[in-house]
Each structure stands twice: as C-alpha cells, then as structure tokens.
Amino acid sequence: MNKKDKYEIAIVGATGAVGRRMVSTLEERNFPVACLTALASSRSVGKTLLFRGKTIEVKELKEDSFKKIDIALFSAGGSISKKYAPIAVESGCVVIDNSSAWRMKKEVPLIIPEVNPSALGKKWGIIANPNCSTIQMVVALKPIHDRFRIRRVVVSTYQSVSGSGQKAVEELEQQSKDILEGKPAQSNVYPHQIAFNCIPHIDVFLENGYTKEEMKMVNETQKILGDDTIEVSPTTVRVPVFYSHSEALNVETELPMKADEVKDLLSLSPGISVVDNPEKSEYPQAIKACGKGSVVVGRIRKDLTRNNAINLWVVSDNLLKGAACNAVQIAELLLKRLTPSNL
C-alpha cells in the first residue's frame, strides 16, 4: 500500500450493526478517506448509507470488488472472511477482519492498538480484530501485566444482545413488550427467552465444557499479551441489555499491588477511563458506555481472600471499541507505519 494523502476504503458487511458503526467511526475520527465503498450481500444492494453528508449506495460483494481498494474493513462473518479476505489481499488490499476466522492463525497479527502495536509488523495482508469481550478485558489488563505480571484472571462477562446482531436487539425489544402485555415470548435468536433473563451460553459448547466464546477469551488474551503462561478462567453470559458489555475481573499477579496503585496506573493508560467513586454511586455502567470508544474501569478493590489479587469492573461499547472503533484504530496505526520503504 502506497503512502498518500487519502485512501480508498471498503467496508464489507456495511449494512450490519458493526458495519454501520465503521462508517460513522471513519467520519468521527476524520480518517483520510478518498472514496468509501460499501459492500454487502445481494439482499442489501440498493440500500444507502450516509458518509460525510453524501449518500453512498451499497454494492454487492464480488470477487472483483477490491480493485483499487487500499484498506478493507470486514464485518460480515467468518465464512465471508475466509472466502473474500484472501481475494482482497491478492488484489493488493490490506484487510482488517472483525470475524474469528483468522485470529488464531500464527501468521496473522491480532491487534489492539493500545496494547500490542508492535505485533503489527511491517508486511500486511490480513490483520485480525479481536473478540469484543477480549478487547475490553485486555485493554484493562495490559498496564497491570506490564507492572505486576499477571498470573491468573477469572472473568465473568455480562454481554449485551447487540453482540448477536440486529435480530437479537429486535428480539429483546419484542419479548419485553410481549411479556409486559401478558403475551408469551417467542425465541428465535437464542435457545431461551432473553428478556428478564440471563443465559450462560454464548456460541457453541465445546468438549471441555466451555463455550467457543469463553475459549476465545483464553486463547486471544495469551496471543495478544504474548504470554501463554497467563491463566484465564472465563464464564460468558448473555444478559438483557441492548448495548455494551460488562465484565467482572479477578486478577492475580506475581508482584504485590495496592488498589490505589492500580487505579493510578489505569488512569494514566491509553484507551482507559477510570470511573471509581462508589461513595457517590459512580462506577462504569453499560448505558453510559454506549457511543464511547474507551474502556471504562471501576470498582477497583483488593481481593479479600487472596494476596496479590484485585477485582475490577470493566465496561465498553461492544460495537465500538469491541469492533468498529478498534478496527479503524488499526487502520490508523497502519497509516502511521507507512514509510517510503512501503512505496
């Protein structure tokens, strides 16, 4: 990819919840876009999106869609990424993929710009965007790991329905209305009613008794932090919240640490906002994290039962920092790395 003033950008899956936020994030962060191409399935052809005051018509994703494209942001699911990402790269395009298709491939960098920018390397083809629940956790863990060396993390997630797509958002809304009107709730997206309920089941169950979502958090955390000795014990839960994921973390370290030290450390760390004033009922909340690209951390306190351990409450907008914003930040990091040698 050549260094220039503006770049040809494509978004694959542009009409989805994350795709739409990729469009708005490019605009909000003033990314140097020469031309934006919106790509989706044939069902979405003809739909329009607004970008910088101009209407963009959605085009059908095809094998020849990536000619002259510099960077393609993919958010259309693993099967689409597996098929079209290599085609895009072959066309000379850099792919930033939001699916799980490429994350654990050894040759594919898995990037959170605030955490492991050096892992990007100098030659780019496909770059993977981590899982939404992994991103917000690892942004909070990175400064702690650098200072105190993390041994073990126990994490329970409270993940919003938007992580399952727009149909899940509509299902929660409809179920809530039906139940409040005394009607039976119909479940199509989830195996059980999600309204007024919690479901400890995200993605498929594996032979070890954990879900695929839970194992993503284990494997991706170790890859991003470059340390496979870090133990991660996850439980992922879908909750009746529309947007933003919340996580309860218990973090055990090799070196001793105090809660105030951790609070000060996180306050100075990139991408993190500390909201931790429980006396005034100030702490991270899902509804307040919506629309923000940062990771919000609070309830920072010493573990009462273990030495060298603390508890944290971590919240972030899963469609922004957990997906669209992180992808655009990776693209920004790419542009910073372009030098005359890339020309």
User: Which residue do the tokens 């992180």 mark?
Assistant: 326
Q: Within this chain, do residues 298 and 204 fall inside the same structural domain, yes or no?
A: yes
Q: Within this chain, do residues 106 and 138 fall inside the same structural domain, yes or no?
A: no
As a whole number of angstroms, the distance between CA 218 and CA 195 comes to: 28
CA torsion 132-217-72-93 (nearest 10°) is: 160
What per-residue confidence (pLDDT) applies to 2? 78
Which residues is 12 bridged to in the sheet? 39, 74
Residue from 219, 2, 5, 12 nearest 95 by CA? 12
Residue from 331, 336, 335 nearest 74 by CA? 331
As a whole number of angstroms, the distance between CA 66 and CA 74 comes to: 12
The CA-CA-CA angle for residues 4, 5, 10, to 5°, reads 80
User: Which residue do the tokens 């993929």 mark?
Assistant: 97
What per-residue confidence (pLDDT) applies to 158? 98
First CA to last CA across the chain, in angstroms?
7
CATH of the domain at 328: 3.40.50.720
Based on the structure, what is the number of domains in the chain? 2
- Domain containing residue 125: 7-130+323-342
Q: Within this chain, do residues 67 and 150 fall inside the same structural domain, yes or no?
A: no
In a domain, 111, yes or no: yes
Q: Within this chain, do residues 82 and 217 fall inside the same structural domain, yes or no?
A: no
As a whole number of angstroms, the distance between CA 47 and CA 43 comes to: 9
Q: Within this chain, do residues 330 and 231 fall inside the same structural domain, yes or no?
A: no
Q: Within this chain, do residues 193 and 298 fall inside the same structural domain, yes or no?
A: yes
99 DSSP 8-state letter: S
Strand order in the sheet with 94-97: 59-60, 33-40, 7-12, 71-74, 94-97, 126-128
What per-residue confidence (pLDDT) applies to 207? 98
In a domain, 2, yes or no: no
What per-residue confidence (pLDDT) applies to 343? 37
Q: Within this chain, do residues 113 and 146 fall inside the same structural domain, yes or no?
A: no
Q: What is the mean pLDDT of each run of 10 residues along the chain (343 residues)?
A: 92 96 98 98 95 97 96 96 97 97 96 97 93 98 98 98 96 98 97 98 98 98 98 98 98 97 98 97 98 97 96 98 98 88 44
3-state helix, strand, coil in the chain (%, to 5): 35, 25, 40
- Active-site residue list: 132, 245
Alpha helices in 159-292 (DSSP H): 166-180, 212-225, 259-267, 286-289
Q: Within this chain, do residues 27 and 118 fall inside the same structural domain, yes or no?
A: yes
As a whole number of angstroms, the distance between CA 324 and CA 24 comes to: 9
What per-residue confidence (pLDDT) applies to 340? 57
Non-local CB neighbours of 209 within 8 Å, separated by 6+ positions = none
HSE value, Cβ hemisphere, 13 Å, CA-based, for 239: 15
Q: Within this chain, do residues 143 and 284 fall inside the same structural domain, yes or no?
A: yes
In a domain, 332, yes or no: yes
In a domain, 251, yes or no: yes
Q: Within this chain, do residues 260 and 147 fall inside the same structural domain, yes or no?
A: yes
What per-residue confidence (pLDDT) applies to 216? 98
Q: Within this chain, do residues 282 and 331 fall inside the same structural domain, yes or no?
A: no
What per-residue confidence (pLDDT) applies to 338? 86
